[in-house]
Structure 1
Amino acid sequence: MTSASTIERTDTWDMVLVHRVFRREFRILPALVRAVAPGDTARAEVLGAHLANIALGLHHHHSAEDDLVWPLLLRRAKMHAGLIHRMEAQHHRLHEPLQRINELLPRWRDRALADDRDELADVIAQAAVALDEHLADEEREILPLIEEHLTPAEWKAVGDRGKEVLPKGKMALVFLGSILEEASEAERRRFLGELPLPVRLLWRLAGERTYIASRDRVRVY
């Protein structure tokens, strides 16, 4: 018989790092968008491309949870069904502002009109509030359930789903940098230590420089 002490426990620590990216970017983007002068399509394109990537990343993040996490928890943690359904409802509520962002973005990137800019900034801010509530609930109440009820292999499948849609090439370094930006030194060492050696070498050679250039291009007013 396998003793409890030898059973590998699911560890969700890396999810918190990913959540920080979504929180940070949705928090700072409304002011960045509002600062774009009417008609400045070059600046609208820079911010629009960044916002599109962040919104798409959040969509894939939620889709993985919808497909791979909630069904397992509903079967194995039935006494918490109300909580899990609340998470599903929060995803549904976030879909509306995210869909509106997707509708507004092409028009604003193309013409940079003030009305589109202002509505877009308002919708991003609306999404940021809902996202903060959802991620706080998830970290406080759902991650402990995942650690108790999902196996490491099942949790790895969630991460693998995310890796399937990660950007490639230069944008992969930008994504990695966005995760490491607010990581503690211990978190940074652990996260990099779990990456393949070629990725770690690429990050060491060009990653931080690539990320800083991309970050500063987005955040300049």
Structure 2
Amino acid sequence: MSDGRIALTFDDGPDPLWTPQVLDALAEADARATFFVLAPRAAAEAALIARMQAEGHGVQLHAYAHIRHTKLTEETGAEDTDRALSMLSSLSVEPELWRTPWGVTADWTEDVAAARGLELVRWTADTHDWRGDSATAMLAAIDDEVADGAIVLAHDALGPGATRSGCAETVALVAPLVALARDRGLEPVTLCAGCPEAVCP
């Protein structure tokens, strides 16, 4: 049995075309992941949110609007967060973790998070999949970072700033990344609040 853990995470979804393919790839690999969702997309794809939950994946907060916190006032940022949390709650999603858009925080972000019982989460390995790199290139780029406690960043939708036309290479990355992790004694697990190294056993 694996003694180590790794977290595969996906931002900016759900997407009606690409998220099902990511979920299929995870199911084929018998691996769990965490999805940091945009609330309007989640509301539009409620069946995908339900599928994520049914298949044992984590569903956590990304945002309502994908805007850098440094471009928002505290009041506007808090309103965005509350709007997102309310919309997600209507889908039976109660986030404990929050990955802000682009991972960017402002001087108010921690206070807004703490007031809502949210733990801020970043990543330790960035696939840069938004660029459209091949799955092989992405795997090679993060090879040294696939280690115990790693949090891998990928995207199951086309977010702002993406220069790729689709998420096919991210889908293709899932199986070899899971295989590499398991070769190193690491089991893909969901993220959770307050766990050592942020990944759940």
Using the size of structure 1 for normalisation, the TM-score is 0.26
Larger strand percent: 2
Structure with the greater alpha carbon radius of gyration: 1
Q: Greater helix percent: which structure? A: 1
